[in-house]
Each structure stands twice: as structure tokens, then as C-alpha cells.
């Protein structure tokens, strides 16, 4: 039955009637209406998206109805929680005193399909275009830090290097609430980030600085793409990048087909240049790094997940969908009601203990640290 997408619970009642568990892969803004419809038809709800304030407000209603509304059941957020919590549990069980936690994840092109930016689209392009616009908050050296757009892309952390190309991580929107979820209140460094090649961050910082991803002002239909690029001529690097992108995707000389914001124009251009679906293979990479002290010695405990996609089987789609599939398969073992994420202690071990059977394994390394202050 076709689903009439909308923002009201009534838009979903007919199609959800009789459902036991509803898995929503709709845009995040639509989840609240679906959750409210699930309350009406008495169906459980699962999504890969971040938990929202509106969703959390339904907690008691879901408990009273005997329902579980489960969010953050994808890759990031999702598998990042599961694998990080498993690592943290090992450190604590061995008597380690945790001082720092860094968790980073990203979807990238496969090593064989890299371009100059080190990036292509494999999942939700508009999220990439608007990334970082809310700024970021995290804890560093014992203090909360709040940085604004476009500084998010400038203040990235170095991770490691591959074939002379540095991989870095820029901070996600708000890391601080996850300190409670991970039981790491009061540690010196806590940050969750997105992995990109350094070439992407330096270039995107220029676009952000110039305001190319502006979502407010609307440009008129028929405006030449060249004229759009020239709006940012004052920013030499951004202007040069836009001119190069227009040439690469054969839009030089074309015109905007309808009234659009600059962010929408940028999205159209990048989709022409970077669309990887069915052409290129993708890669998912995730790294957790825990700094801790044990028996007077400081250590860094690192875990890395690195998966390459296959033909017609993207690594991103696989890792986003896998936690949902495991949850549905193991539903009878889940005794939890209300609004929750898979970071709950009743849930994450169920996911973690099933990952190996699907070929999802992290590699781990523990090394002593010479500096006892690292990374406080």
C-alpha cells in the first residue's frame, strides 16, 4: 500500500494497523508522527536515527502501553555505542581508570575509488551538505568546548595516514550527553566525531566559511550555475572549488531549474559529481580510542572496524541495517519498554554478541603511553 508521507500520526494509521513492530527508515523529522501512530495502533517502533526530545516525551506513554520505542539502532548512532561499550567494559573489568574517550565513524569511498576530496555520496547527501551547521560540543582537557560552524571542520583531530593521505575526525554536534550513557562522567576528554580525509575537511571548511551551504536565502530560477559560483568570488578557495566542481559535472553554462537555496544548488552539483551508487564501492571505518591508567602505567586501547562494500551491497547499508535486523530477530529476549537507545545495558550486549556471526569484528591494540597526562 502506498504510504502518504506526512507530519501527522493520522497519515500513518491505516498502513500501520495490525503491525507488531514498525521499522522506520523515513527522514528523522517524520519519526515522531510515526511513533505517535504506533502508540495508537499498539506497535513497537525501531529506527536508526538519533533519539529526539519529542520522542523522549513519549516514554511514559510507551511504558504504559507496554511498547518499546527503540532509536539509535544503526551504524552511527548504533554500532558505535555497542562496540564502544564493549571496550569500556573490558577496561573497567580489568581495573583500568579511564581518562579519555574518542569515538569516530565515517562512510567513505573504497580505497580504489577515491577522488581528490576523498569522498563520494553513498548515504543521505543532504546530511553531508548541512553537517556541522549547529556547531559542536565536547570535553577536552577537563573542560567543555563549544565550537561554531565552520570551525568544526578546521579543528579536526588526526587519526592515522593511509598511502600519504591523512584521515581525521571532526566533532559531532553534541558529545556531552553520551558521557552519562557511557558511564564516563568527569573524565578529561570525551568526543564523538565523523571520519573524513583531511582533504575533505580543508575544502569543506572553505565552502562553509564562504556560506555556500546557506539554507535560508532563495536564488531565482534560471540563474546560471556560473553566476551562483561567482556569488562566492570573494572567497578565493571556495570559488575555485565551485568552478572546478561545475566543470567536472558538466554544469558550466547551465541554469538553476527552479528557485533554490544555495545549499540545494550545492547538493545538486555534488550529486552529479559524487553519486557513487552502483558505480563505486564504499567503505565504513570506525575507531574508538580509550586512554586509561592501570597499575601506575598509562595505556591507549584502540579498536578499529574497517569494512569495504561489495557490488550492489554497500558497507553503509549493511552496517546501518544490521543492528535493526539483530534486534528484530532477538526481540523475544528484550525485556525493555519505553523510549530507549541500544546503549541500554539490557540491549547492547545482545547486538554485540551477534556481530561476529555476520562478519563484523573490530581489531584491537593496546600500547603503553609515555606521557602520563595523555590526553588530559
Handedness of CA 256, 258, 259, 263 (dihedral sign): negative
Give CA–CA dist 55/375, Å, rounded: 35
Q: Rounded to whole angstroms, what are the CA distances from 75 to 80, 216, 326?
A: 6, 30, 13
Helix (H, G, I), strand (E, B) or coil at 236: helix
Q: For this structure, is 76 an active site residue?
A: yes
Q: In the numeric block, which cell numbers belong to residue 241?
A: 572549488
What angle separates helix 79-93 from helix 315-329, to the nearest 10 degrees? 70
DSSP 3-23: ----SSGGGTHHHHTT-SEEE
> Which of the residues 11, 64, 76, 306 is marked catalytic?
76
Please, are residues 343 and 64 in contact by the beta-carbon 8 Å criterion? no
Please, are residues 276 and 113 in contact by the beta-carbon 8 Å criterion? yes
Indicate left, alpha or beta for 260 from its phi (over 0: left) and psi (-120 to 50: alpha): beta
Helix (H, G, I), strand (E, B) or coil at 138: strand
Handedness of CA 209, 211, 212, 214 (dihedral sign): positive
Reference 374, options 297, 287, 303; nearest CA is 297
Indicate which residues carry an active-site annotation.
Answer: 76
Amino acid at each position: 500500500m502506498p504510504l502518504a508521507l506526512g507530519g501527522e500520526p493520522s497519515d500513518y494509521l491505516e498502513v500501520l494497523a495490525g503491525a507488531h513492530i514498525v521499522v522506520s527508515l523515513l527522514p528523522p523529522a517524520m519519526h515522531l508522527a510515526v511513533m505517535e501512530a504506533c502508540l495508537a495502533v499498539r506497535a513497537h517502533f525501531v529506527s536508526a536515527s538519533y533519539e529526539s526530545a519529542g520522542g523522549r516525551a513519549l516514554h511514559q506513554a510507551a511504558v504504559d502501553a507496554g511498547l518499546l520505542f527503540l532509536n539509535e539502532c544503526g551504524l552511527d548512532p548504533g554500532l558505535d555505542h555497542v562496540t564502544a561499550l564493549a571496550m569500556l567494559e573490558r577496561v573497567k573489568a580489568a581495573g583500568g581508570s579511564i581518562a579519555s574517550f574518542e569515538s569516530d565513524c565515517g562512510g567513505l569511498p573504497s580505497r580504489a575509488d577515491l577522488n581528490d576530496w576523498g569522498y563520494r555520496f553513498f548515504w543521505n547527501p543532504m546530511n553531508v551538505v548541512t553537517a556541522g551547521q549547529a556547531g559542536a560540543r565536547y570535553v577536552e582537557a577537563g573542560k567543555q568546548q563549544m565550537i561554531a560552524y565552520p570551525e568544526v571542520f578546521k579543528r579536526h583531530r588526526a587519526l592515522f595516514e593511509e598511502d600519504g593521505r591523512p584521515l581525521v575526525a571532526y566533532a559531532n554536534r553534541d558529545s556531552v550527553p553520551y558521557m552519562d550513557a557511557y558511564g564516563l562522567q568527569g573524565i578529561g576528554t570525551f568526543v564523538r566525531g565523523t571520519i573524513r580525509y583531511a582533504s575533505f575537511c580543508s575544502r569543506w571548511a572553505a565552502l562553509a566559511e564562504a556560506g555556500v551551504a546557506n539554507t535560508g536565502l532563495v536564488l531565482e530560477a534560471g540563474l546560471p550555475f556560473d553566476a551562483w559560483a561567482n556569488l562566492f568570488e570573494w572567497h578565493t578557495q571556495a570559488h575555485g572549488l565551485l568552478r572546478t566542481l561545475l566543470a567536472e559535472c558538466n554544469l558550466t553554462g547551465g541554469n538553476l531549474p527552479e528557485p533554490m537555496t544555495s545549499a540545494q544548488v550545492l547538493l545538486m552539483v555534488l550529486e552529479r559529481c559524487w553519486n557513487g551508487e552502483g558505480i563505486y564501492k564504499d567503505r565504513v571505518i570506525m575507531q574508538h580510542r580509550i586512554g586509561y591508567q592501570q597499575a601506575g602505567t598509562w595505556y591507549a586501547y584502540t579498536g578499529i572496524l574497517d569494512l569495504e562494500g561489495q557490488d550492489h551491497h554497500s558497507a553503509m547499508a549493511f552496517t546501518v541495517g544490521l543492528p535493526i535486523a539483530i534486534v528484530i530477530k532477538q526481540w523475544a529476549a528484550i525485556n525493555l519498554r519505553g523510549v530507549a537507545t541500544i546503549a541500554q545495558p539490557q540491549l547492547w550486549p545482545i547486538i554485540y554478541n551477534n556481530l561476529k556471526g555476520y562478519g563484523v569484528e573490530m581489531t584491537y591494540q593496546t600500547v603503553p603511553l609515555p606521557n602520563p597526562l595523555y590526553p588530559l
